[in-house]
Structure 1
């Protein structure tokens, strides 16, 4: 039987500047969105916008130095986060980033 795997590799452009989020636990995370073109140009939806989160200090610092429109490469794992709202339970998927780097500056 094959081992399970949860591996995400993305190359896309930064939708907006990364932001610092303070967690209730006191930890800090840096969050951003990556826009990735879909391979089939005839598709109705031509891009996917994916939420990313970095917990490691070095990765957080790197992400905060990027600018909207930069091309970035991300390696990580898909995570589903759960929380409670006044309306009931809520969840979302995001990429928990293990490694990230800028591979191209935004077009000017």
Structure 2
């Protein structure tokens, strides 16, 4: 039995248009930032009301989906967390991102009627 599981599921809003990058290996990735509202309990512990997560799409299918997203689009993503290390000046820095396994655009919420 494997008791380790690296899987995340997030629902939120796209912050900005997705960007394509070509890595030194020649691989293309498409990345975007996801804004996720914090839970009411988390909001009571901190003045921060949202978290942002970098998301990266590696497959052609997911890259295409990501490139069709616009700022404010509601999405559900799932995937695995990855930690990327890089050298910056005299030190090493790192960041965590979501390596996408799925990406679904969610319908816009219904607009309240004043009728």
TM-score (norm 1): 0.91
Q: Output the aligned Cα RMSD.
A: 1.8
1:19 equivalent in structure 2: 19
Structure with greater strand share of residues:
1
Please say which structure displays the higher CA radius of gyration. Answer: 2
2:7 aligns to what? 7
The range that moved more, 33-42 or 71-80, is: 33-42
Q: Distance in 2 between the 1:19 and 1:75 partners?
A: 19
Structure 1 stretches of at least 4 aligned residues deviating more than 2 Å after TM superposition: 85-88
* Unmatched runs of 5 consecutive residues or more in structure 2: 110-115
SS of match in other structure, 2:66: helix
* Equivalent residues, number: 107
> Could you state the TM-score of these two structures normalised by the residue count of structure 2?
0.85
Q: How many angstroms apart in 2 are the aligned matches of 1:34 and 1:13?
A: 6
Superposition deviation, residue 88 in structure 1: 2.3
